């Protein structure tokens, strides 16, 4: 059973204005046209904006990538598998030989090797690792994307503020983007069947002018009704329609062919590579959070073959993304996180597979306020347990929030009940923050 | 002399091992075997000893996936890309060769013991002079990437009985038959069913050709692996064998598997060609015998481990299987 | 023992506020009068002026949406508005409650209540069961009994068993969902309560409830229940404990057979189960049924308070868009109802009247509190006072069915026999189902996302399935009209059930005139603007 130390007793129905606090007000004034590519790099955008507009790309390695074949190799141990560890550009830090490109870029990246998250079940672990805590029966927490959409998105944003790619079908329903108690306003734009959002394009049977004026007419007709009535749902409907035209204008952000061939070649032809490139386009245009789901790492059989196939792709795409962001001067503003629902067992089964393992696994954070080249957490010689600097889902999230300049102790209100971004008492890992 | 009937197969001995054994080589007409293991080590052992206690010979830098015996020279290869040459008489290392840029999957010796062949994920099949260790041929007939832009792998290699032919098989089901002397490809065969690319559900692959064996007359080539897999998280495809007329590339027979799931990691023909035996596994393993001419399975036997390799004696009266934490001996006849 | 005492104390606090029956209005007083007595008193006490009563057109829209899940046809509105019968509201309510649409709509709401997370859990048999249950006005305690006892050998109640069947693999969830649905108590939350005293109570409480439910299992497609089985758990402090069957009030049940069976008994049991499996029948029932005990204890004496108050609170929420206790699953001592006496009286009333939900529904919607307007020009009073009607976002089915009705030529509904009309309306409901599946189910703190706005703005289905202009459609009829003003009046009336204002007529006819020569397109766009605006999206 989930236990938590702060389950209060809400007495009132929810009041959106109360729990949304002053969000809108703070961010509405940023009026740059974020639909323009690379708006942040353009001279018209002031430095303050550049400084405050942090964004996150989450590379979600669904199914559970192996820490031993990526960021916490144990070469020579009976559990180590066949792959060697290689030196990186950070003295003393070794990673799997399957990641030679990242090995040259570890100075930008922090590895957390001490994740102990207790849960080895795909569905519920995915829910936990997307939220930094377990849902309570009474409270559905918003996930990372929804919190960042809420904290870093703008009320009048012309771009979506939470986009998630998950094209493979395995595990997709276990880890949908979910705004929890923040509600549909912060629900993600989910891209599953195509890299192109549904309903973003005007239908052929209406002209652009008519589409716009039809929308104006709608607003006009609604005015009379809205006067004298207040409800959070009512406001949300109006906000949703107000954002339609802006989001339609961001359509081209999803079109990878808009990118120079040179850049596309750099990322490579795989689906994960293309989606990561689109993610880069999106954050560049001001989308606060993009998750690129890459399934399915669940290597119960043939763990080494699976990782031999999939890790080089991760290595290449992640390294390219780091280079690309760096070239664009965005690495201080965009954070790249790699995360799964759990890692994989050190023990190797008869099918040369590794099974679910949540007791000692790894995640990485790159960019923004994170200390590149740092390693936090240590596992034992065989990788069976964390022996120092253990991290749970909560402290991982607190660290992400803190690095983005968001106070992890900040409260949302569900009714009268204060709900902090992370459970009380949980701290960010100061050692990896700049 | 006719080969013993597979019906006579019975388990004889069984040893438990703390490591996974990936490769075995047996000195002809003796009980001496050499083993390549997951603890990076190569061992020698005596199967007839009262207590089977393999002796450590030397160490690679990664999993040892192939061992081959050419006369008195033992050659082993592993995920470290190296071949280590060992004088079994003198008990000392002859040389180490940086043979491949990627992980070596198998090492075999020619029937006459003059050549050593290694294959690796750099998609090269390298033929070496067993005596000098010199590279004789670097055979390139397999693509480095799968059609889906992921790295391919080269898993299987075999000699024909007369030593004139080599066959290599890769992850996507492509087989090349080579003229050993000329170092030239003679023909190709395709076994695409052995490769499962899951492009929607899980977006990666499983399978590949894991074993090859020429019929004693050299006319047919048996190919082993696993049939199409639904859930590629597991080795749940059926153990699969196909037999080709390799000259035309035509598939003659297929044994899609009806009893066991998993990969067929090793194939061998009876000396008289009357049957074909395959072994492999998933969580557990199997030994399966086929009558190729009659296109039927003769005997399908469960083995208590995932079998990675076996050695069958020349008279086919004994099969020593190695694999996950075990070594098992079966007798025939 | 200490824990038990604390627990009981806590519960008493919850119930004691309201118990003194002598202070409550007589049982014979009609429900609407009691509601208005308490609601009005609180409003007066707060010194607030409530919103006036909603006009007839608004009221029939609200009642039709709430009771049968759709907007009224313009003919229904006109007839209601025109009628001078003093009893017209009562007659309307009775007509709607008696109609088949009532059973369908209420069953949909119950299904969403029982399975809030999801579409399509189970076989749809549960919904069918609920439709029949509402149709025959099955008492709520009987529904409770049938859901919890889950007798699959009786075809009539088999659907009810889906509730338990869908949760077989997760006894914790089953425990919590039973507590939430029937008693308004989220035990898993209470388990980690802040209150230093109540904190200890909760684990016993949770596992006590779980003991009633955890013996359930599946035997070859039939639900069975073991006559034994215990749960051990590790409290936050102290040694491991063995759970005791215990209801929320602390009422514990002694289980005479709580010992584990012998190997011999196990063997016998296994044989019996295999036999049942082979015969494709339900496994033999245990002598001592834990689920049976739960039903018994939950409905007994003062324990039934939870059960009665929960259903009253949920039905209140259904018609007033907020509960007397909020959230609905937080009925406990530290979360007092806004109107404790009213809740107590209604709970007593529903229990005394055989848990008759139609009677309760009728009472709720005939109150003046229900029929207040939803507009309040100045800063609105505390929503807990129910001084102003709340907006209710339509459910997916309400919205899709209403769209279909608004897109249908109103003439199609005129002059039909009641059965024919009912059939047309059911067809509208059916036609909307596919589209409804694309719309989010409103829940606590519901917000409409940009996804819905994009779907309505650029989705093909709205145009193709609703905004067509063939014969028998609203847009088809509009095409036959000459004057843009006439069309404007017609479209507003059809979509909103009320007369258009001058401003609306001007805005719409202006919009149409700007598109001379392609009026059909213009009309489609106008109808789109009408049905996507909040006046359509909400029940108000």
Mutate which of A16, A157, A184 to test chain C, going by most C C-beta atoms within 10 A? A184
Q: What domains can be seen in chain B, in order of their start residue?
A: 141-257 (2.130.10.10)
Mind giving me the DSSP string for C147-159?
Answer: HHH--TTSTTTGG
Do A and C make contact via 3 or more CB pairs under 8 A? The reply is yes
Q: What domains can be seen in chain A, in order of their start residue?
A: 16-200+250-432 (3.40.720.10)
Q: Which distant-in-sequence residues (6+ apart) come within 8 Å of B52 by Cβ? A: B13, B15, B45, B46, B327
Question: Residue C445 is nearest to which of A16, A222, A228, comparing CB atoms?
Answer: A16
Q: Is the pTM of this model over 0.90?
A: no
Contacts of C537 in chain A (CB under 8 A): 237
Mutate which of B229, B233, B238 to test chain A, going by most A C-beta atoms within 10 A? B233
Contact: C193, A9; criterion CB under 8 Å: yes
Residue B123 region by backbone torsions, left for phi larger than 0, else alpha for psi between -120 and 50, else beta: left
Element (H, E) at C15: helix C2-19
B235 and chain A in contact, CB less than 8 A = yes
In chain B, count of helices (H) and strands (E)? 0, 28
Contact: C540, A229; criterion CB under 8 Å: yes
Contacts of C528 in chain A (CB under 8 A): 214, 218
Element (H, E) at B14: strand B10-26
Neighbouring C-beta atoms of residue C181, cutoff 10 Å = 22
Tell me if ipTM is over 0.90: yes
Quick one: closest CA in C to A217, which residue?
Answer: C529
Neighbouring C-beta atoms of residue B132, cutoff 10 Å = 9
Contacts of A181 in chain C (CB under 8 A): 444-445
Quick one: closest CA in C to A212, which residue?
Answer: C457
- A223-269 pLDDT, tens digit each: 999 999 988 889 989 989 999 998 999 999 999 999 999 999 999 99
Contact: A218, C322; criterion CB under 8 Å: no
The partner residues of B326 in beta bridges, in order of sequence, read B16, B323
Contact: A302, B235; criterion CB under 8 Å: yes
Question: Residue C525 is nearest to which of A13, A16, A214, comparing CB atoms?
Answer: A214
Q: How many angstroms separate the CA atoms of C16 and C3, rounded?
A: 20
Contact: A78, B80; criterion CB under 8 Å: no
Mind giving me the DSSP string for B40-104?
Answer: SEEEEEETTSSS--PEEEEE-SS-EEEEEEETTEEEEEETTSEEEEEETTTTEEEEEEE--SS-E
Instruction: Give the pLDDT score at C191.
Output: 52
Instruction: Give the pLDDT score at A38.
Output: 40
Q: How many angstroms separate the CA atoms of A2 and A23, rounded?
A: 30
Q: Are A297 and A62 in contact (CB under 8 A)?
A: yes
- A34-81 pLDDT, tens digit each: 333 344 444 434 344 444 689 999 999 999 999 999 999 999 999 999
Question: Residue C449 is nearest to which of A1, A185, A198, comparing CB atoms?
Answer: A185
Do B and C make contact via 3 or more CB pairs under 8 A? The reply is no
B227 pLDDT higher than 80: yes
Q: What are the Cα distances from residue A215, in Å, to B155, C511, C514, C531?
A: 62, 12, 15, 12
State the residue for tokens 């602390």.
Answer: C250
Question: Residue A205 is nearest to which of C451, C463, C503, comparing CB atoms?
Answer: C463
A124 and chain C in contact, CB less than 8 A = no
Looking at chain A, the whole-number percentage of residues with pLDDT higher than 70 is 87
Query: Strand, coil or helix: what is A64?
Result: coil
Contact: A137, C457; criterion CB under 8 Å: no
Contact: A217, C189; criterion CB under 8 Å: no
Size of interface A-C (CB pairs under 8 A): 212
First to last CA, chain A: 37
Burial C423-443 (b: 16+ CB within 10 A, else e): ebbeebbebbeebbebbbbbe
Q: How many angstroms separate the CA atoms of B245 and B240, rounded?
A: 17
A13 pLDDT higher than 50: no
Distance from CA of A351 to the nearest CA of B (A): 5
Instruction: Give the pLDDT score at A66.
Output: 98
Contact: C189, A136; criterion CB under 8 Å: yes
Contact: C180, A224; criterion CB under 8 Å: no
Contact: A350, B284; criterion CB under 8 Å: yes
B304 and chain A in contact, CB less than 8 A = no
- A380-409 pLDDT, tens digit each: 999 999 999 999 999 999 999 999 999 999
Question: Residue B151 is nearest to which of A76, A81, A309, comparing CB atoms?
Answer: A309
Looking at chain B, the whole-number percentage of residues with pLDDT higher than 70 is 100
Contacts of B151 in chain A (CB under 8 A): 308-309, 312
Q: Find the angle CA(A417)-CA(A21)-CA(A153) to the nearest 5 degrees.
A: 120
Q: Are B53 and B62 in contact (CB under 8 A)?
A: no
Which sign does the torsion angle of CA B178, B181, B183, B184 carry?
A: negative
Quick one: closest CA in B to A62, which residue?
Answer: B202
DSSP C455: H
In chain A, count of helices (H) and strands (E)? 12, 16
Mutate which of B64, B151, B202 to test chain A, going by most A C-beta atoms within 10 A? B202
Tens digit of pLDDT at every position of chain C (540 positions): 333 333 333 343 344 344 466 678 999 999 999 999 999 999 999 999 999 999 999 999 999 999 999 999 999 999 999 999 999 999 999 999 999 999 999 999 999 899 876 644 445 899 999 999 999 999 999 999 999 999 988 889 999 999 999 888 888 889 989 999 999 988 765 554 434 434 435 678 888 999 999 999 999 889 999 988 888 887 767 788 888 899 988 889 888 766 788 888 889 989 999 999 999 888 998 889 999 999 999 999 999 999 999 999 999 999 999 999 988 988 888 788 999 999 999 999 999 999 999 999 999 999 999 999 999 988 889 999 999 999 999 999 999 999 999 999 999 999 999 999 999 999 999 999 999 989 988 877 788 888 899 999 999 999 999 999 999 999 999 999 999 999 999 999 999 999 999 999 999 999 999 999 999 999 999 999 999 999 999 999
Q: Are B242 and B222 in contact (CB under 8 A)?
A: yes
Q: Which contacts (CB < 8 Å, 24+ apart) does range C87-95 have? A: C89/C59, C89/C63, C89/C366, C89/C371, C90/C366, C92/C60, C92/C63, C93/C63, C93/C67, C93/C362, C93/C365, C93/C366, C94/C362
């Amino acid at each position: 059973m989930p236990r938590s130390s702060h389950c209060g007793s809400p007495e009132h129905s929810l009041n959106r204005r109360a729990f949304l606090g002053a969000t809108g007000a703070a961010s509405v004034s940023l009026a740059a046209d974020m639909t323009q590519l690379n708006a942040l790099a353009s001279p018209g955008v002031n430095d303050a904006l550049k400084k405050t507009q942090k964004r996150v790309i989450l590379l979600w390695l669904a199914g559970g990538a192996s820490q031993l074949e990526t960021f916490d190799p144990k070469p020579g141990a009976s559990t180590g598998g066949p792959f060697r560890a290689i030196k990186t550009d950070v003295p003393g830090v070794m990673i799997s030989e399957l990641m030679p490109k990242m090995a040259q870029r570890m100075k930008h990246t922090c590895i957390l090797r001490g994740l102990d998250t207790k849960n080895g079940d795909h569905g519920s672990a995915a829910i936990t690792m997307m939220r930094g805590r377990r849902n309570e029966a009474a409270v559905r927490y918003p996930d990372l994307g929804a919190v960042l959409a809420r904290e870093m998105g703008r009320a009048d944003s012309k771009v979506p503020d939470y986009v998630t790619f998950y094209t493979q079908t395995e595990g997709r329903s276990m880890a949908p983007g979910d705004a929890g108690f923040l509600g549909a306003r912060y629900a993600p734009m989910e891209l599953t069947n195509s890299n192109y959002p549904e309903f973003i394009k005007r239908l052929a049977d209406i002209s652009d002018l008519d589409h716009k004026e039809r929308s104006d007419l709608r607003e006009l007709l609604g005015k009379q009704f809205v006067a004298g009535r207040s409800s959070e749902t009512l406001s949300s409907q109006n906000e949703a329609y107000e954002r339609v035209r802006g989001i339609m204008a961001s359509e081209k952000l999803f079109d990878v062919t808009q990118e120079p061939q040179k850049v596309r070649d750099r990322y490579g032809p795989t689906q994960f590579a293309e989606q990561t490139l689109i993610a880069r386009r999106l954050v560049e245009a001001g989308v606060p959070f993009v998750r690129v789901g890459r399934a399915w790492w669940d290597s119960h059989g043939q763990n080494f073959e699976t990782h031999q196939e999939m890790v080089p792709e991760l290595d290449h795409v992640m390294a390219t993304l780091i280079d690309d962001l760096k070239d664009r001067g965005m690495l201080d503003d965009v954070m790249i996180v790699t995360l799964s629902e759990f890692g994989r067992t050190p023990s190797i089964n008869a099918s040369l597979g590794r099974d679910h393992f949540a007791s000692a696994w790894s995640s990485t954070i790159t960019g923004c306020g994170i200390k590149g080249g740092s390693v936090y957490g240590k596992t034992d010689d065989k990788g069976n347990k964390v022996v120092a600097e253990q991290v749970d889902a909560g402290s991982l999230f607190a660290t992400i929030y803190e690095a983005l300049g968001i106070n992890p102790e900040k409260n949302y209100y569900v009714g009268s009940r204060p709900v902090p971004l992370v459970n009380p008492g949980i701290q960010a890992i100061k050692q990896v923050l700049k | 002399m006719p080969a013993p009937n597979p019906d006579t197969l019975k388990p004889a001995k069984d040893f438990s091992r703390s490591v996974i054994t990936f490769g075995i080589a047996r000195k002809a007409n003796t009980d001496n075997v050499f083993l390549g293991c997951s603890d990076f080590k190569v061992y020698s052992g005596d199967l007839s000893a009262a207590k089977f206690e393999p002796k450590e010979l030397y160490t690679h830098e990664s999993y040892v996936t192939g061992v081959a015996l050419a006369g008195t020279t033992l050659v082993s290869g592993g995920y470290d890309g190296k071949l280590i040459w060992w004088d079994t008489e003198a008990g000392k290392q002859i040389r180490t060769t940086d043979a491949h840029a990627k992980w070596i999957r198998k090492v075999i010796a020619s029937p006459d013991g003059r050549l050593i062949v290694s294959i690796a994920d750099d998609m090269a099949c390298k033929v070496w002079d067993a005596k000098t260790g010199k590279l004789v041929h670097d055979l390139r007939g397999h693509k480095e990437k799968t059609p889906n832009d992921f790295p391919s792998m080269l898993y299987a290699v075999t000699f024909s009985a007369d030593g004139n032919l080599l066959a290599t098989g890769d992850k996507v089901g492509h087989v090349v038959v080579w003229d050993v002397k000329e170092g030239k490809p003679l023909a190709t065969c395709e076994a695409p069913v052995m490769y499962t690319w899951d492009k929607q559900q899980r977006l990666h692959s499983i399978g590949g050709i894991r074993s090859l064996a020429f019929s004693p007359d050299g006319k047919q080539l048996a190919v082993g692996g696993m049939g199409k897999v639904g859930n590629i998280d597991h080795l749940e495809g059926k153990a699969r064998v196909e037999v080709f007329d390799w000259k035309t590339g035509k598939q003659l027979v297929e044994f899609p598997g009806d009893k066991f799931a998993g990969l067929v990691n090793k194939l061998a023909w009876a000396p008289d060609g009357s049957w074909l035996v395959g072994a492999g596994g998933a969580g557990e393993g199997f030994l399966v015998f086929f009558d190729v001419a009659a296109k039927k399975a003769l005997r399908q036997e469960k083995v208590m481990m995932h079998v990675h390799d076996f050695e069958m004696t020349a008279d086919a009266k004994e099969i020593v299987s190695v694999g996950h934490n075990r070594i098992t001996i079966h007798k025939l006849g | 023992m200490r824990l038990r005492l604390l627990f009981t104390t806590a519960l008493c606090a919850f119930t004691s506020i309201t118990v003194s029956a002598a202070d409550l209005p007589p049982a014979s007083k009609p429900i609407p009068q009691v509601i208005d007595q308490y609601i009005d008193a609180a409003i007066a006490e707060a010194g607030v002026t409530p919103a006036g009563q909603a006009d007839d057109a608004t009221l029939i829209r609200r009642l039709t949406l709430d009771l049968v899940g759709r907007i009224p046809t313009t003919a229904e509105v006109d007839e209601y508005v025109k009628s001078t019968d003093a009893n017209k509201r009562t007659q309307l309510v009775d007509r709607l409650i008696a109609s088949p649409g009532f059973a369908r709509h209420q069953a949909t709401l119950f299904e969403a209540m029982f399975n809030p997370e999801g579409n399509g859990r189970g076989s749809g048999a549960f919904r069918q069961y609920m439709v029949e249950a509402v149709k025959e006005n099955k008492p709520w305690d009987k529904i409770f009994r049938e859901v919890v006892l889950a007798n699959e050998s009786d075809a009539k109640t088999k659907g009810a068993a889906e509730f338990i069947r869908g949760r077989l693999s997760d006894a914790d969830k089953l425990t919590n969902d039973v507590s939430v649905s029937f008693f308004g108590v989220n035990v898993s939350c209470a388990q980690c309560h802040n209150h230093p005293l109540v904190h200890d109570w909760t684990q016993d409480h949770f596992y006590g409830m779980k003991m009633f439910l955890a013996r359930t299992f599946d035997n070859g497609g039939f639900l069975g229940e073991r006559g034994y089985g215990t749960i051990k758990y590790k409290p936050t402090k102290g040694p491991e404990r063995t759970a005791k069957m215990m209801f929320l009030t602390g009422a514990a049940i002694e289980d005479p057979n709580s010992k584990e069976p012998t190997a011999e008994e196990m063997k016998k049991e296994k044989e019996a189960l295999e036999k049942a499996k082979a015969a494709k029948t339900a496994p033999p029932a245990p002598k001592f049924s834990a689920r049976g005990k739960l039903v018994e204890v939950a409905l007994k004496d003062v324990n039934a308070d939870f059960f009665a108050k929960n259903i009253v609170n949920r039905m209140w929420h259904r018609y007033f868009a907020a509960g007397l206790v909020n959230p609905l699953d937080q009925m406990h001592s530290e979360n007092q109802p806004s109107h404790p006496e009213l809740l107590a009286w209604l709970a007593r009333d529903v229990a005394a009247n055989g848990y008759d939900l139609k009677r309760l529904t009728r009472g709720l919607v005939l109150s003046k509190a229900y029929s207040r307007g939803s507009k309040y020009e100045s800063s609105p009073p505390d929503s807990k006072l129910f001084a102003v009607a709340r907006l209710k976002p339509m459910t997916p089915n309400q919205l899709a069915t209403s769209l279909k009705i608004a897109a249908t030529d109103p003439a199609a509904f005129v002059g039909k026999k009641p059965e024919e009309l009912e059939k047309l309306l059911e067809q509208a409901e059916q036609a909307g189902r596919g589209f409804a599946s694309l719309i989010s189910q409103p829940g606590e703190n519901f917000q409409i996302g940009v996804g819905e706005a994009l779907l309505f703005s650029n989705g093909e289905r709205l145009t193709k399935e609703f905004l067509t202009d063939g014969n028998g459609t609203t847009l088809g009829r509009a095409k036959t009209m000459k004057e843009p003003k006439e069309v404007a009046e017609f479209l507003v009336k059809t979509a909103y059930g009320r007369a258009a204002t001058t401003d609306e007529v001007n805005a719409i006819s202006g919009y149409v005139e700007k598109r001379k020569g392609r009026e059909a397109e213009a009309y489609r766009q106008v109808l789109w603007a009408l049905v996507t605006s909040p006046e359509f999206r909400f029940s108000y």
